[in-house]
Amino acid sequence: MRLNVLLLAITCIAAVANAETGSLTIHLILHAVGEERYEITPFERGLKLNTTFEYSDRGNKRSTAVELRMKSDFTPLGLEVQGRPMTARVDGASVTVQEDAASRTFTTPPGYFAIFGPSPFAVQMMMMRYWNAHGRPAKLEVLRASPEAPPVEIKLVGHESITVEGKTVALDRYVVANLMFGREILWMNKSGDLAAAMTFAGGLPMEAVRTEYESALPQLYRSGVAQEMANLDVIGRSVPPERQGSFAIMGARLVDATGAAPVEDSVVIVRDGRITTVGSRGTFAVPKGMPIVDAKGQTLLPGLWEMHIHASGVEFGPALLAAGITTARDCGGEFDFLVAARDAVEKRGAVGPRLLLAGLVDSGGLKAFGHVTADTVEEGRAVVDRYHAAGFEQIKLYTFLKPEVVKAIATEAHRLGMTVTGHVPQALNAFEGVEAGMDQINHLNYVSSMMRPAGGGRGAIDVNSDAALRAIQFFRDHQTVVDPTAGWGEMAAHSKEVDVGSFEPGIAKAPFVLETKFRGMGATTTADQMRTRTAQTLAVIGALHKAGVIIVPGSDTGLVGYGLHRELELYVEAGMTPLEAIQSATIVSARAMKLDRDSGSIEVGKRADMILVDGDPLTNIGDLRKVSRVIVKGRVFDPAKLWQSVGFRP
């Protein structure tokens, strides 16, 4: 093994005796959106990598340039992200790292690498070369400004071959943890070149593939999805259910979400994943010998529905479940991964909530979001048919669809019994989108924009104005379902003057990579401006709810799991009662997805999807954060163990 590692190091060093260049094509949700170009050259102390990572995210240009200086054995001497205060400098026995406002100087560790995240991918390539040249350590320390940064963990998990221009290329497949939330998948060729990478663990799925290997991406992607399902199985084996089959939950305060008064000292019996008996203690006999879940002093509620996620990696499932989420709607991702993840949960009992899928579709071109596009009426119908055949519940429209294609998609979806949600395409306003067939709308801004008077600009919305009242009446009359994602708006644009933990306490329990990501977000607005913006958002949500417009909660790409809790807290601030907020995340969401006969409340015959909570969320909605047990399809899990399985602190 050591001889092979040495030979690889010698090969890599020889390759850059003069200069080594390469490029990677960048994909966002399998849609080619940019390129990374790198060059490795000698310098007086060893090697220097310069790489530029550029892509278009739905028309928004993103660019990162990095310089990495290394010894000849790939040991980093310095890393600089150009245009940002992100640097790591090694000066003999000491290291100084700066990441935005944070900095730290510490003793140089005996083995380490310098990397700030999964991209640029050429830096990962050099990390892999270092790892191979230094004995493939089980844990690789990384130079970060925080001492809490976990080491990177790299595991060789498989081998495969691709065919490029008639030649067979052998690749090694690796799983890499702790660059971002969850695990990445990397493929390396025998020369130490990065062949491809799948980053499922970010806010949205991203792929990089060596430009000359582009034709092999479909094969590598399928392999990556299979690897992700294997990763999910590993997690599942670490957190088996505490109980399943037949059992009784006794002693809890029952809030069944139907609107009925709470039942004190309740009994709920579960058999084979279904609720068979519901009532108060003493009204019926619990079968002798039946296992008991003692829930005295706790509140029993239906499992929560998270109505807007982008499932970017199998780690999402355990985290969502730990938060009490037993059903989650994905609002746009990669077709094969979503189908595989959904089927793993429903057919193989993998750990995670039931997944409901909204198939993403946009118009083609560089600005398109995702890999499924439709530019004609015929293509629109074909897309709907493909999603329907795969069991998707909805179609999710995106920004650049043409009006006639929107109409065709909606007509075909309705013909097949599907519903239509999404962003309102820019060629339409929200009224026109609904009239064209949109049943639901993702994000409040599309709705609130219709509440402004003509030519009213972007000033404050008067929810009692004629324009606002007309808009509210329209959405109520059309029974439009609105998914506000208010918590995501708060997180993504919070004032830098405001500590994230002040409105999202879950950040204190998040893995380092997630905590760093969300604390690094925000805007240059003041705390007062943030409060004003939040108050406007809540006023609109409150007005919609009071008028009877259907509101369902979703956290988008917010802090996984906890983002839903924050969304519901905001709804109570907007004027919902705690019960109404709970209903929005249970029976109201179930009705919106036409699944209320099967789920969404605690009633006889329904799925045994429930949560036990320490406290009383009817008094304090924040008590929903205190999930003590989660029951999904009749299997009882300990949330603390679920959180720990994906790196959260319980």
Q: What is the pLDDT of residue 595?
A: 98
Span 447-482, pLDDT tens digits: 999 999 887 667 789 999 999 999 999 999 999 999
* E strands present in 71-218: 76-81, 86-91, 94-99, 102-107, 153-164, 167-177, 183-189, 194-199, 206-210
Asked if residue 43 lies in contact with residue 223, where contact means CB atoms within 8 angstroms, the answer is: no
Which CATH number covers residue 319?
A: 3.20.20.140
Domains held by the chain: number: 2
627-632 vs 610-614, strand pairing mode: antiparallel
- Are 224 and 318 part of one and the same domain? no
Quickly count: other Cβ atoms within 10 Å of residue 42's Cβ. 14
7 forms bridges with which residues in the sheet? Answer: none
- Are 586 and 491 part of one and the same domain? yes
Span 313-356, pLDDT tens digits: 999 999 999 999 999 999 999 999 999 999 999 999 999 999 99
Establish if 258 belongs to a structural domain.
Answer: no
> What are the angstrom distances between the C-alpha of 542 and each of 27, 253, 549, 581, 584?
39, 28, 10, 11, 13
Q: What is the pLDDT of residue 202?
A: 56
- Are 314 and 229 part of one and the same domain? no
The DSSP element (H or E) to which 544 belongs, if any, is: helix 527-547
Residue 196's domain comprises 2-238
Establish if 528 belongs to a structural domain.
Answer: yes
- Are 63 and 204 part of one and the same domain? yes
- Are 221 and 320 part of one and the same domain? no
Q: Is 436 helix (H, G, I), strand (E, B) or coil?
A: helix
Establish if 286 belongs to a structural domain.
Answer: no
Q: What is the DSSP letter of 29?
A: T
Establish if 274 belongs to a structural domain.
Answer: no
Q: Which two tokens stand for residue 333?
A: 């991702």
Region of 178 please: left (phi>0), alpha (psi -120 to 50) or beta.
Answer: left
> What are the angstrom distances between the C-alpha of 65 and each of 82, 122, 345?
5, 11, 40
Q: What is the DSSP letter of 573?
A: H
Quickly count: other Cβ atoms within 10 Å of residue 125's Cβ. 26
Establish if 432 belongs to a structural domain.
Answer: yes
Asked if residue 392 lies in contact with residue 359, where contact means CB atoms within 8 angstroms, the answer is: yes
Asked if residue 121 lies in contact with residue 64, where contact means CB atoms within 8 angstroms, the answer is: no
pTM, 2 dp:
0.95
Q: What is the pLDDT of residue 201?
A: 53
Q: Is 289 helix (H, G, I), strand (E, B) or coil?
A: coil
Residues 6 or more apart in contact with residue 54 via CB below 8 angstroms: 26, 34, 35, 36, 61, 62, 63, 64
**Which of 191, 207, 238 delimits the end of a domain?**
238
Establish if 178 belongs to a structural domain.
Answer: yes
Establish if 284 belongs to a structural domain.
Answer: no
- Are 545 and 641 part of one and the same domain? yes
| Residues 138, 12: Cα–Cα separation, whole Å | 22
- Are 81 and 183 part of one and the same domain? yes
Residues 6 or more apart in contact with residue 487 via CB below 8 angstroms: 504, 555, 558, 563, 564, 566, 567, 570
**Which of 238, 267, 284 delimits the end of a domain?**
238
Q: What is the pLDDT of residue 3?
A: 44
Q: Which residues of 348-368 are buried (b: 16+ CB within 10 A; e: fewer)?
A: eebbbbbbbbbbbbbbeeebb
- Are 462 and 555 part of one and the same domain? yes
Find out whether the peptide bond into 120 is cis, omega within 30 degrees of 0. Answer: yes
- Are 133 and 203 part of one and the same domain? yes
Tell me the backbone φ, ψ of residue 7, rounded to 5 degrees: -60, -40
Q: How far apart are the first and last CA of the chain?
A: 39
- Are 206 and 347 part of one and the same domain? no
> What are the angstrom distances between the C-alpha of 4 and each of 9, 113, 132, 135, 638?
9, 21, 9, 10, 45
Q: What is the pLDDT of residue 12?
A: 52
Q: What is the pLDDT of residue 203?
A: 76
Q: Which positions of the chain have pLDDT values less than 50?
A: 1-3, 5-7, 15
Q: What is the pLDDT of residue 1?
A: 46
